[in-house]
């Protein structure tokens, strides 16, 4: 069987977009409690990590794979939680956007 190649950065971007759209970002988030938004982003990060660990894995499936999955889960979970803070936290881009929209009404 010939080796199949793909662009890892594009794959990562597609995986992130998929889980953000399916799990993390929902219509009406401007009215959602922050803990609910954080929880969804954390779950999305874990799912991204699991997926990217599988995509990045080369070789046979062994015990080392479970450790890799855990590392990727932690990395992407933390990354998603930083993102939610930057977007929805105080002075976050989305928080400011919705606050301005409310002020104009």
86-96 per-position pLDDT tens digit: 888 777 787 77
How far is residue 51's CA from residue 36's CA, in Å, rounded to a whole number?
23
Look at residue 30 in the predicted model and tell me its pLDDT. Answer: 82
Look at residue 49 in the predicted model and tell me its pLDDT. Answer: 98
Q: Are 68 and 103 in contact (CB under 8 A)?
A: no
Question: 89: which residues sit within 8 A by CB, 6+ positions away?
Answer: 95
Q: Are 63 and 75 in contact (CB under 8 A)?
A: no
Look at residue 101 in the predicted model and tell me its pLDDT. Answer: 59
In this prediction, residues 77-85 reach a mean pLDDT of: 94
6-50 per-position pLDDT tens digit: 899 999 999 999 999 999 988 888 888 889 999 999 999 999 999
Specify the pTM. 0.84
């Amino acid at each position: 069987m010939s080796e199949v190649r793909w662009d890892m950065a594009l794959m990562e971007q597609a995986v992130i977009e998929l889980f953000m759209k399916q799990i993390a970002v929902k219509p009406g988030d401007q009215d959602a409690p922050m803990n609910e938004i954080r929880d969804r982003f954390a779950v999305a990060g874990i799912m991204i990590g699991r997926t990217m660990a599988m995509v990045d894995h080369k070789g046979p499936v062994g015990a080392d794979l479970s450790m890799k999955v855990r590392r990727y889960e932690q990395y992407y979970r933390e990354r998603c939680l930083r993102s939610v803070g930057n977007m929805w936290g105080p002075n976050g881009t989305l928080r400011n956007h919705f606050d301005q929209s409310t002020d104009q009404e």
